[in-house]
Structure formats: structure tokens, C-alpha cells
A and B are shown apart, each in its own frame.
Chain A
């Protein structure tokens, strides 16, 4: 019972801390920036967790949708269309369409082939970004003006942007919680444990998996829209396969089996990155082995430290 409380306490204090940071750190825009980024990546990690943690679909190409979201903002801004009511629906629709196509192709395969094909499809988008000169090729695009929402929300203000991201993060967590515990979520989790049995029970498992894949893509596309707005630029590097790898690590670091885990993972990842890169320029020589050690010895991630041993629902 006490352990259960520990999780609630940690989760609540993290949410509270995120809510209060801009007030406490007034003027310290650097940390507001780090946390904005961390929350955006939390949203992306949450979406990846739906297919990775609950559906056991190891997508090594999830950064694609971050790129799509960010490029949507960038390309619209390039044509001087800044209206968020146009940009965002288009970004989400394109994410959904791409996720539908990529999902339909890659879900035909299993195991390592699935990993490789999601990786390759995203690399394809990466090279598309690199080779289109019109949209800046390697250098990407500068987003001079952030999405405008008709005067309701002013994203140019750092604190407003921070709280916009915060609210979307909370909505994503709540939505994910409902989704995981719905009938749909049960089917996804059931097919993770025993796909053959779910099929025998008459569930069209493939269609459920594809739907989950598209939902994850759309939410990650949303994270991309936010990231484009936050960084004020977009480049192909956002879709590079190492970005997808980092997203997977955030999910695993936080704990795959829980709804909130990826948020812990993403924030811990970014803070660790900041901390280590302050320590030494060669921070990756510590970070790499750290990653290996987490995989080998701390498989349940941060979530399992808060109670409920082992890995997710295994």
C-alpha cells in the first residue's frame, strides 16, 4: 500500500513541479526552455509507449512524426501562413496519413523485420528532407513566426508556450490513461500477451494494431507541431534514426508498462543530458554505457523503482 502511494506522490509532485516551475524560475528562461523541450518529448514518448509498451510493436521510426509535425509548421511559415487553425489540423492529418501508410506496410512484417522497416521508412523521410532544396535541405527552415491562434493564445510568449505544452501533456496523459483502460486498450494489450489467442477470440488484431499505430503517429505529430514552434526551426536531423532511438530509450528508461512512465523517462533523459554535457564535452562516453547498464540491469525503468517490480505487465 505504501509503495502504491509512493507512485502517486512522485507523479503528483512532478506534475505540480512542472506547473509551478515558470513561477519559481521566473526569468530563468534557460530552464523553462529545457523543461518545455522535455514536456514535448514526453508527449512523443507517451505516444510511442502506446505501440511499444502496450502493443509490443518496436517502431524504430517514431521520429518521423515529430519531423512531419515540425515540417508542417515550417513549410506553412515558409509560405507565410501562420494560422494555427490551418497548420495544426493539416499537420495532424498528414501524420495520420503517413502513419496509416507506414503502418500498413510495416505491420505485414514481424520481429526484427518490423524494426528494420520502420527504421528504413523513416530514413526515407529523412533523406527526402535532406534532398529538397526548396525547404532548406540539410539546413532546414527557420520558423520566423510561431503558430497564431487568432489572438486567443500567444505562443510567442515563452511562458504561454510552456503552459500550452503543459496542458497538452496533461491532456495526452489523461487520454492515454483512458485509451489503455478502454476495450480498445485491452485488445492491444491482449495481443501483446498472446496474439494467437486474441485472434481465436475473433478480434481483428491487425486492424486494432494499425489503429494504435495511427493514433501514436498523430499524437507524435502533435509533439512535432509543438517542437517546431518551440525551437523556431526545423531540419531533417529531427527525423534521423538516432532520434527514434532516443525516443525508445526514453520509454524504456521511464518504464514501458505504465502510462506515466515515459514522462519520467523523457524528463530524466533531458536532465541527464544537460547534467552530463555540463560535466564534460565527452558526455556520450558516459551516456552510452549508462544506456547499456539500464538495459541490462534496470529493465523496468524508473516506474519499477516506484513499486511493482519487473517489467510492465509481464
Chain B
């Protein structure tokens, strides 16, 4: 184990963390404000990636693909909100879980029909396809650096939006008491649709960023969705700051665990035992973390203030 490898895996973990944050931010906002458990958030991630793959093919440029796919994914999100999800706000969580589960089945099949059963590949332009030398002798893929930059940029923009603007004030007010801001004359319907669209665009962006690394395929949203849920539960549902911190923790622990747990374990037990135990344990690590956090803090690490 060299320091270069450690740094590389650290960056990989960080990159997974910011991807998770892009998903979790929308999820936590939608839950915090509309009180809606949206399992179909992962479908927006998938749809975003597919749209981006097609647009990249058509325009011949990944940059244009992303720029055009963002509003398209947002539009899909807005349509879903206005047709299916709006009626669910007043329902209990069980109804929401089931109905959005139905949406997942629908979207998975839809992508299979539209884009075929095989996945798609998003080709990267030459300037993103190489490596950068981050330290003397240590190379890291340019595109992964870009993901980290985009993720941090979005986090900063969201911070400004939520803390410094009037819309952000409404979002925060909605998170602590949505009935009250409705009573104060804010058009909740529009606010909800806008927030959902924003969340959809962020989920789609995460899909577009992940697309060139993992193949774009049906069902790609489901595995990462569960991780995103782990993130918002650890972070405290409704808190963007919590989602950011928890996303980085989860991304780092997951990646580092997979890479280095066998080395750590072999210090404590025989090499062959470590080799057997490490993959199992590292796959379970984030869930153990979540169970531990919830055991001691059932509301997550950063529950929003004044939530009822």
C-alpha cells in the first residue's frame, strides 16, 4: 500500500460522495418539504443518463449533451410531479412508497422499450479522457476530477440558493412548517413543483456524471438510490448540510472499505480469513454505519430545526 494508492482511493471515495450528494440533495429536499418518500428518484438519475447518452450521440458533444439533458430531465420530473406525485403528498408513507415503487417499474420498462435492453455508453471528449498529474508522479482521471468539481460547485450553489435567496428562505420555511408558509400566502403548489424539478435535474446530473464511468443501463438507479437513502437518513432528513456531510462520509467509507479493509483485517487475523471476511464486511459497512447512527441518534446527525 503506497500513499499514491491511498490518495487515489480517497479521491475515488470523495467522487462517489459528491455523486451521492447530487442525488441526496433532491431527495432530502423533497422529503423535508413535501414529506414525500420518493423511491423513483433513482429513475430520474437513470432517465437523465439515458437522455444525455442520446443527446451526446446526436450532437456529437458530451458538453451539449449534458446542457440539453438537464432541462429535459427537469421537464420529466415536473411532469411526473404534476401527474402522479402531487396526489400523494396528502397520503401516508406506505402509499408513497408503493406508488413510487410502481413508477420505478414503469420507468425501467420504458427505458427498455425506448433504448433497448442493452445499455449505452457515453463517450468522453478527448480533453476529458486523459489523466491529470495531481501530485508529482500521481495521476488521476481528468473526468473524475471534473465530477468532484461539479459536485462541489453544485453544493456551493445550493448553499447560496438556500441560505442567501428568497426562494431559499421559502425552502427552509417549508422544511420546518409547510402549513404555515401556505397560510402566509406562498403558492405551495408552484414551490413544490419547482423544488421537485430542481431535485430531478440534480438527480439527472448525477446520472450524466456517472454515465461515462459506469455503463448507462436499465435499473442503474436502484442500487445508488438505496445508498442515497442511507445518506439522507444519516444526515437527517430535510437537511442539505447533513446530506452533504453524510454523502462524503458514506462515499469515503464505502470506497476505502472496499480497498483497504482486507489489509486492515489481516493485521488482526490470518490472511486467508481476512480475505474472506473483507468483501462481505466492506459491502455491509455503510449499512452498519447507518444502523449505528440511527441507534444513537434516531433523527440522524443534523435534523433540521423545528421539524414536527
Contacts and interface: CB of A to CB of B under 8 A. Distances in A.
Interface string A116-133: 110111011001101111
Interface stretch (B103-111, B122-130, B159-167, B241-249): B103-111
Contacts of B95: 295-296, 299
Contact of B280 (A52, A117, A128, A295): A128
Contacts of A106: 294
Given A58-B94, A131-B279, A285-B109, A245 B101 contact: yes
B106 A289 contact: yes
Interface in B103-145: 103-110, 112-113
A245 to B, nearest CB: 5
Interface stretch (A72-80, A107-115, A143-151, A166-174): A107-115
Contacts of A128: 280, 283-284
Contact-residue bracket for chain A: 35 or more
Interface stretch (B44-52, B66-74, B189-197, B222-230): B222-230
Contacts of B112: 282
B283 A296 contact: no
B230 A291 contact: no
Contacts of A296: 87-88, 95, 99
Contact of A120 (B103, B230, B298, B300): B230
Contacts of A241: 222, 226
Nearest to A132: B280
B246 to A, nearest CB: 13
5 contacts: A110-B298, A120-B230, A120-B233, A123-B226, A291-B102
Interface of B: 31, 37, 39, 84, 87-88, 91, 93-95, 97-99, 101-110, 112-113, 222, 226, 229-230, 233, 237, 276, 279-280, 282-284, 287-288, 290-291, 294-295, 298-300
Interface of A: 52, 58, 60, 105-106, 108-113, 115-117, 119-121, 123-124, 127-128, 130-134, 241-242, 245, 248-249, 252, 282-285, 287-292, 294-296, 299
